[in-house]
Structure 1
Amino acid sequence: LKMLQASGVQTAIITGRDAPSVGIRVKQLGISYYFKGIHDKRAAYAQLCEQAGVEEHECAFVGDDVVDLPVMVRCGLAVAVPEAHWFTLQYAHYVTRRSGGAGAVRE
């Protein structure tokens, strides 16, 4: 992620969780935008695009569950991890070989 950011790509996390450990990791990685405790990811995604000054089709998104579908169908590159919900996998442009938590984002 640091290399991606160094190349000028903005990074963000939209999550339904509100775990303090994620907030710590966000700071360590220098993630530009952090939306936590989100139930409507589509609305957060629209807000993110506006704040970041980008169009939806210019974004990539990594998801693993059906709550991610409203963003996955709008972004330019929808990515899923292999253990994602079967329905979510149908909407992914790319499925990582690595699992979530085991290098999927790096891939």
Structure 2
Amino acid sequence: MRDKYTGIQLVLFDVDGVLTDGGLNITSEGEIYKQFNVKDGVAIALLKAHGIRTGVVSGKQSAALDYRCKQLALDVIITGCSDKLSAAQRLVSEMNIAPSQIVFVGDDIIDLSVMDFVGVSYSPADGHVLAKRRADIILECPGGAGVAREVAEHILFSRGLSLEEMYQPLLIKDERTIVVQ
């Protein structure tokens, strides 16, 4: 099992229902805001500190999402995407990595094809039943409640790191390590 996680090079997250609780805050002018969990910002920094690239592949597009993605300095930002499988296949080619080196976290039927394509897939506790059936790991957290943090820790635990070892790079004062909450 450790080998499966040692080779992970990219973790991709769906947004609505994964990094958020799936709620939409819409006025006649469009989506105003999305509520993200600060724990997930730490999770992105944690993955990056261990050499794992991060990104989102979302069916929706909004200014709030764009802002959060830039704030977190994600390596891959794909929004407004209705064909997530094609996007993942394109990333394999562009990044010169194998599907087995990708983790995807999804919660709904639009995510199923990507979950089948990647090496490891996760679903939040409140994901759709079909997503949970396809997921390699069903998380304890529901969407928007620290899903990325749980995924990051699971990957690093699976690599054989203790909690102290995995967080050590974030505890060192280093200008290369940026933690955005």
TM bucket, shorter chain: over 0.9
Any runs of at least 4 consecutive aligned residues in structure 1 with deviations exceeding 6 A, and if so which? none
Displacement after TM superposition at 1:19 (Å): 1.3
User: 1:88 offset after TM fit, Å?
Assistant: 1.2
Which residue among 87, 90, 105 is the counterpart of 1:62?
Answer: 105
Task: String of CA shifts for 1:30-71, please: whole Å, max 9, x gaps.
Answer: 100111100111101111222222110111000000110110
- Aligned residue for 1:11, secondary structure, equals strand
Q: CA–CA distance in 1 between the matches of 2:138 and 2:62?
A: 26
Residues of 2 paired with 1:20 and 1:95: CA distance? 30
The one of 85, 96, 105 equivalent to 1:42 is 85
Larger helix percent: 2
Q: Residue type matched to 1:53 in 2?
A: N
Using structure 2 for the length normalisation, give the TM-score: 0.57
Q: 1:31 aligns with which of 74, 83, 86?
A: 74
Residue 90 of structure 2 corresponds to residue 90 of structure 1: no
Contact 2:127 2:142 in 1 (8 A): no
Give yes or no for contact 2:55–2:74 (8 Å, CA) kept in 1. Answer: yes
Greater Rg by CA: 2
Structure 1 residue matching 2:104: 3-state secondary structure:
strand
2:123 paired with 1:80: yes
- Tell me how far apart the structure 2 counterparts of residues 46 and 97 of structure 1 sit (CA, whole Å): 29
Q: Which moved more, 1:47-56 or 1:35-44?
A: 47-56
Gaps of 5+ in 2: 1-43, 151-181
Aligned to 2:49: 6
Q: How many pairs were matched up?
A: 107
- 5+ residue gaps, structure 1, are none
Asked whether 1:100 is paired with 2:143, we answer: yes
Moved more, 48-57 or 28-37: 48-57
TM-score, length basis structure 1: 0.95
Q: Which residue of 2 aligns with 1:15?
A: 58
Percent identity over paired residues: 30
What is the rounded CA distance, in whole Å, between the counterparts of 2:88 and 2:54 in structure 1?
A: 12
Q: Distance in 2 between matches of 1:6 and 1:50?
A: 24
